[in-house]
């Protein structure tokens, strides 16, 4: 086998359309794969009318996207003059443990948008992150890993309106001394109504030096135009050099159904120790009706290079007697009532 490295020419699609500007397209990606053992303790499959016991179980698996979802993508920008730029991002998610397409089989399931940026800010259209997503990102020292307390509370308990939004029109303000805001409207594409199925989101973020903080809001409507997923989040982190600390509060409910409120808080700290860094997070999730889950995430990263690192994580989710809340990020069997779920993971991430 004879391999040859050549420069990849990136050119305009139409013959003769090549302009003086060369297309500036970046191919990038992450491959992140980990081995995980998950043990779900004994509990109860039903509480009433009679308690039915469930034995403990455990599973080992090779999974993908531990610290960062495995992905590859294309992105680019073209200067249009006068400070105006055309930008795009097409980002595929895949499972590096079994090669399947991610996000339910979408090709560019992580992001697919095109837009214009300039002095006015950025106007982008397509499949994009919800504004509230950025609030969580500013509050999560574990960077939305599968093991993160923030991820397991906010993104995975009710992802629909808080993660990636189809048919979204997003306006982002310019950076005003660290302050930015997003306003997003996603078309519901339901006949006969402009509100049916729509998702609205907004956030305000402050990112300046050691401080990353923000507030975010998301509201989704059913096809009938009734709000059925509304959430807000307040959080941030502070990097003191020797350590970073974080805290957030998140709340979600379906306004159309009584007693559906979920509330969570999380705190975290990370300490860099040369090539090592140590992370610890703790938090609690409460659901109307008395269910309560306490979640811990402890671990460390070892940086092999700027592009490659290895990691270990221990995650513990403890349910109270009326809770069977899962820790969805780690996969494996869901716990029964009163059962705890504990996972140990070791993995490696490579970026290109």
Partner 1 sequence: MKLTKTAFAVAAIVGSVAASAQTANVTLYGYINTSIENNRGSTATTSATVNRMTSNSSQFGFRGSESLGGGLSAVFDLQNGFGSDDGNLNGGAMFGRRANMGLVGGFGAVKVGYDLTPYDDVMGLSHQNIGSTGFQNRNAGLSSGPGFAGNQLFTNYGRGGTAGCATDGNFDARAANSIAYTTPNMGGLVVRTMYAMVEEVASNGCKLWDTGAVYSNGPITAGLAYSLHKNFRGLGGTGVGMHDQNAWRGYGRYNFGVARIDASYEVMSWKVSTGTLKAKYWEIGAQMPVGAANFGLQYSQRDNGTAFAYSAPVGYTAPASLAAINASWSVGGGKHLAAVADYSFSKRTQAYAYFSNMKNETNGKLNTLAIGLIHRF
Say if CB 33 and CB 62 are below 8 A apart. yes
Q: Give the integer Cα–Cα distance in Å for 37 and 253.
A: 32
Find all residues with CB under 8 Å of 294, minimum gap 6, and list them: 282, 283, 284, 317, 318
- CB of residue 51 to partner 1, shortest distance in Å: 44
Please, are residues 163 and 153 in contact by the beta-carbon 8 Å criterion? no
Nearer to partner 1, 64 or 90 (CB): 90
Binding site for partner 1 (CB under 8 A): 1-14, 17-19, 21, 23, 25-28, 68, 74-76, 78, 80-81, 84, 86, 88, 90, 101, 103, 105-116, 125-127, 137, 143, 164, 166-169, 187-194, 351
Nearer to partner 1, 88 or 249 (CB): 88
Of 46 and 194, which has the nearer Cβ to partner 1? 194
Q: Give the integer Cα–Cα distance in Å for 258 and 3.
A: 63
Q: With contact defined as beta carbons under 8 Å apart, do 322 and 291 qualify?
A: yes
- How near is the Cβ of 91 to partner 1 at its closest, in Å? 8
Maximum alpha-carbon separation in the chain: 75
Task: Report residue 345 CA to chain centroid gap.
Answer: 19
Q: Give whichever of 143 and 210 is closer to partner 1, judged by the CB atom.
A: 143
Residue whose CB is less far from partner 1, 190 or 291: 190
State the nearest-atom distance from the C-beta of 104 to partner 1, in Å: 10
Nearer to partner 1, 35 or 87 (CB): 87
Q: What sign for the dihedral angle of Cα 298, 302, 305, 310? A: negative
Distance CA 298, CA 269 (A): 10
């Amino acid at each position: 086998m004879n391999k040859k490295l050549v420069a990849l020419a990136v050119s305009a699609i139409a013959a003769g359309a090549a302009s003086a500007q060369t297309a500036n397209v970046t191919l990038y990606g992450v491959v992140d794969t980990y081995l995980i053992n998950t043990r779900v303790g004994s509990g109860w499959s039903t509480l009433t009318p009679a308690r039915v016991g469930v034995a403990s179980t455990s599973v080992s698996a090779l999974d993908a996207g531990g610290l960062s979802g495995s992905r590859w993508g294309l992105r680019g920008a073209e200067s249009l003059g006068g400070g105006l730029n055309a930008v795009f991002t097409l980002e595929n998610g895949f499972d590096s443990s079994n090669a399947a397409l991610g996000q339910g089989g979408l090709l560019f399931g992580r992001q697919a948008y095109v837009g214009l940026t300039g002095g006015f800010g950025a106007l982008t259209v397509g499949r994009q992150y919800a504004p509230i997503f950025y609030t969580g990102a500013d509050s999560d020292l574990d960077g939305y890993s599968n093991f993160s307390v923030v991820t397991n509370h906010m993104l995975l308990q009710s992802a629909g309106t808080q993660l990636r939004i189809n048919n979204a029109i997003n306006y982002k303000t310019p950076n005003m001394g660290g302050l930015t805001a997003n306003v997003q409207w996603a078309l519901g594409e339901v006949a006969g109504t402009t509100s049916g199925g729509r998702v609205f989101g907004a956030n305000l973020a402050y990112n300046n030096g050691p401080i990353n903080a923000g507030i975010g809001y998301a509201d989704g409507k059913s096809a009938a135009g009734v709000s059925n997923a509304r959430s807000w989040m307040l959080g941030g982190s502070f990097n003191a050099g020797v350590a970073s600390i974080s805290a957030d509060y998140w709340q979600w409910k379906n306004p159309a159904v009584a007693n559906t409120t979920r509330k969570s808080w999380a705190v975290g700290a990370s300490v860099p120790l040369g090539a090592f860094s140590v992370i610890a997070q703790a938090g609690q999730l409460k659901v109307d009706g008395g269910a309560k889950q306490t979640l811990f995430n402890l671990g460390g990263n070892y940086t092999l290079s700027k592009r490659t690192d290895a990691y270990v994580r221990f995650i513990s989710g403890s349910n109270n007697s009326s809770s069977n809340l899962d820790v969805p990020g780690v996969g494996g069997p869901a716990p029964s009532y009163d059962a705890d779920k504990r996972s140990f993971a070791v993995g490696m991430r490579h970026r290109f």
